[in-house]
Amino acid sequence: MMPSFKTSRVSLAMLAFNALTFASCLHASSALAGDCPADQVAEDGMKPGPMMPKGVTDSVLETIDLSSKGDAWKGSMLRMRKLIVQPGGVVPWHSHEMRPANILIVSGSITEYRSTCKVPILHKAGEVAGEFGHLSHWWKNNGKVPAVLYSSDILSPEMHDVSAM
What's the pLDDT score for residue 17?
Answer: 39
How large is the average pLDDT for residues 99-106?
Answer: 95
How large is the average pLDDT for residues 109-125?
Answer: 96
Report the predicted TM-score, pTM, of the whole model to 2 decimal places: 0.75
Q: Rounded to whole angstroms, how far apart are CA atoms 109 and 2?
A: 54
- Phi/psi of residue 71, each to 5°? -60, -35
pLDDT tens digit sequence for 36-53:
999 999 988 989 999 999
DSSP string computed for 70-92: -GGGTT-EEEEEEEEEEEEEEEE
Using 50, 70 and 90 to split pLDDT, how confident is the model at 161? low
- Phi/psi of residue 81, each to 5°? -130, 160
Structural contact between residues 49 and 92, judged by C-beta atoms closer than 8 angstroms: yes
Residue type, 124: K
What's the pLDDT score for residue 14?
Answer: 41
CB-neighbour burial class of residue 101 (10 A; exposed 0-12, middle 13-18, buried 19+):
buried
pLDDT tens digit sequence for 14-33:
433 344 334 344 444 333 56
Which residues fall within 8 angstroms of residue 103, CB to CB, at 6 or more apart? Answer: 123, 128, 129, 131, 149, 150, 151
Domains located in the chain, CATH noted? 38-159 (2.60.120.10)
What's the pLDDT score for residue 88?
Answer: 98
What's the pLDDT score for residue 117?
Answer: 95
